[in-house]
Structure 1
Amino acid sequence: MKQAVFLLALLTAMHAHAATAPAAAAPVSAPGMMQVMVGLLLVLGVLIALAWSLKKMGAGKHAPSGALKIVGGINVGNRERILVVEVADQWIVVGVTASSINALSTMPRQDSLDLAPMTPLAKNFSVWLKQTIDRRNAQKSPSDPGSGNAH
C-alpha cells in the first residue's frame, strides 16, 4: 500500500513538472546560423589581425637593455651560423645550427671591431676570427699546457 501511494505521488510530481517545463527548443533557422557564423569569423579575424600586428611590432623579442648584444655573424651553411655575442665585458663566439648552439671561443670585449675587412658579404670573417683566436692564445702563458680551446 505504501508503494502504491509512493508511485501515485511520483507520477503526480512528474506530470506537474512536465506541465511547467518549457517546450523543446525550436530548430535553428538559416538566418540565425548565418549570424552566428559571421560573428565567429569576425572574432577569428580580429585574433589573426592582432597576432599579425604583434609579430610585426616584435613584441616579446626584446631582451633587457645591455644584457645581450649580437656584435656580428656570418652564415656558413643553409642552417648554420657563427655569431659573436657580447655578454657583459666578454665576447663569445657561438656556432648555431638547427639542433644546437655551441660556444666556440671566448675573448675579452674589444673596444672597436675592425669592420673594414668584413664589409662585402663578410668574406674575411674567417681570417678575422682566426687572427682574434690566435691573439688570445698568444696571450696565455706557454707553461699552461691545458690552456687550449677547452671551453
Structure 2
Amino acid sequence: MLGGLAVVIALLFGCLWVLKRLATPRGAAAAVKVLGAAAVGPRERVVLVEVGKDVLVLGVAPGNVRALHVIPLAELPPPPAQNGPLKGGADFSSWLKQSLERRKDAP
C-alpha cells in the first residue's frame, strides 16, 4: 500500500513539473510584459503592455483587443515614489529594526 502511495505522489510531482515547464513563457511571449491595468467597465479594461522599446495601451473586452495608443518606453513617466515607511528601497526587516530601536530610545 505504501508503494502505491509513493507511486501516486511521484506521478503528482511529475505532472506538476511538466505543467511548470509548459507554462514558462518562451520566445515572443517572454518579450511581452504587462505593466498595469485599470477596469473601465464590468468586463472592460485598459492595459499597458511593454513590447520591446514601446508601450502599448490596449483596450480589452470579451472577445476583443484593440490598440488604443503606442508610447515609446523612453517617454513613459517613472513609477511614483513609494509613500510610507518603506521608501528608499528599504526592506521590511530594516524598517522593523529601526522602529524597535526608536521605541527602545523613547522615554
TM-score tier after normalising by the smaller chain length:
0.3 to 0.5
Determine which structure has more spread, i.e. the larger CA radius of gyration.
1
TM-score by length of 2: 0.48
Q: Which has the higher strand share?
A: 2
Relative contact order higher in (CA < 8 Å, ≥ 6 apart): 2
